Amino acid sequence: MPASSTRTSTPPGAPALPTQGEINAEMSRIGGDPGPGAASAMQPRLDYPPYRSSLRRHPSRALVAVDPGVVERSGPVFGDRDVDPLDADLTIAHRGEPIGERIVIAGRVLDSWGRPVPGQLVEVWQANAAGRYVHRRDQHPAPLDPNFTGTGRCLTGPDGSYRFVTIKPGPYPWRNHQNAWRPAHVHFSLFGTRFTERLVTQMYFPGDPLFELDPIFRSITDPAVATRLVARYDHDLTVSEWATGYRWDVVLDGRRVGP
């Protein structure tokens, strides 16, 4: 799903959107500040002002303690019969071939001790090669691909591994500021052995020129940590004359939680 509506014009009577230069200046002033009360810069700032939606959506009250047992009993249940191995290939859901660069994304899901997390659900969703989501709120004037829906899922293997075949998504505009563009990315939802270990994040591609201009990417204020969101090209994962490969491992808990 898009981060926000992708219409780029300002409605009549609405305040003018800030320019990219003004957003850049805000991000430069914040620099590596993890935000008030934050333990570290390992996680995104929840109240990152250059990312305008975070000002309205970030938590502003103390967390509410709940019984973890109740959370576990009401969480989702899934198994081998619920997830078909073909669900991991986003290019075969329709009768024709989708348009774009075919890619393989693979990696391992681990815990904080480096142990594999097997049999757990990994879900992905993304825009198509033109940067368009199959979603009614996405009004980006780019073509929809009738052969690409952009969603997939799989269960991790005994060694914590996962693998998806898909199309490399395109960048797209969003209404955070004037001429705002999101870097190409794939959304991930990962479950661990407990519901409280669920992680929702985004995977990016190496060398994208939009990284420094994107407030969502920059909301992780430590650059060394932000680069963990970027997959690495893996030539051994690349399939000759068929698809390029990207590798991306994820840690679900502990101090190194995240990609």
Catalytic residue status for 182: yes
The verdict on whether 58 is a catalytic residue reads no
Q: Are strands 121-126 and 232-233 parallel, antiparallel or unpaired?
A: unpaired
57 catalytic? Reply is no
Catalytic annotation present for 177: no
Per annotation, catalytic residue among 172, 218, 228, 246? 172
Q: In the chain, which ranges are E strands?
A: 102-110, 121-126, 151-155, 161-167, 172-174, 180-182, 185-190, 199-204, 232-233, 244-247, 250-251
Kindly name the residue from 108, 177, 187, 228 that is annotated as catalytic: 187
Q: Which of 52, 185, 218, 228 is catalytic?
A: 185
Kind of pairing between the strands at 151-155 and 121-126: antiparallel
Rounded Cα gap, residues 131 and 98, in angstroms? 13
Instruction: Find the helix or strand (DSSP H, E) in which 30 lies.
Output: helix 20-30
DSSP string covering 51-65: STHHHHHS--SPPPP
Catalytic residue chosen out of the listed positions 133, 162, 204, 246: 133
Is 162 known to be catalytic? no
Which residues carry out catalysis? 133, 172, 182, 185, 187
